[in-house]
Amino acid sequence: MSDYQQYLAERERIDYLIQKGYCIKGVLENLSGAYLQFEKGEHEEKETETLHILTAEARKYFSVIMLTQKL
């Protein structure tokens, strides 16, 4: 898979979770990429998801989403 196709797949997974009502609650970055922690729901009914992001373009993409969530 080319880097661009991998970026598109990662962006699609991020967009899917955002559309489902999840918000990015944490990011853990290391040499093998970034792990995004998504959270949805209220106190007792919280649902969580984790995505492993590998491409630099997808990292830029989720950082912009994080900035818009803060506003």
Which sequence spans correspond to the domains of the chain?
3-70
Residues 6 or more apart whose CB falls under 8 angstroms from that of 18 comprise: 65
From CA 25, how far away is CA 57, in angstroms rounded?
20
pLDDT digits (tens, 9 = 90+) for 3-54: 999 999 999 999 999 999 999 999 999 999 999 999 998 777 889 999 999 9
Q: Are 49 and 38 in contact (CB under 8 A)?
A: yes
What pTM was estimated for this model as a whole?
0.89
Short-list 11, 57, 59, CA closest to 34: 59
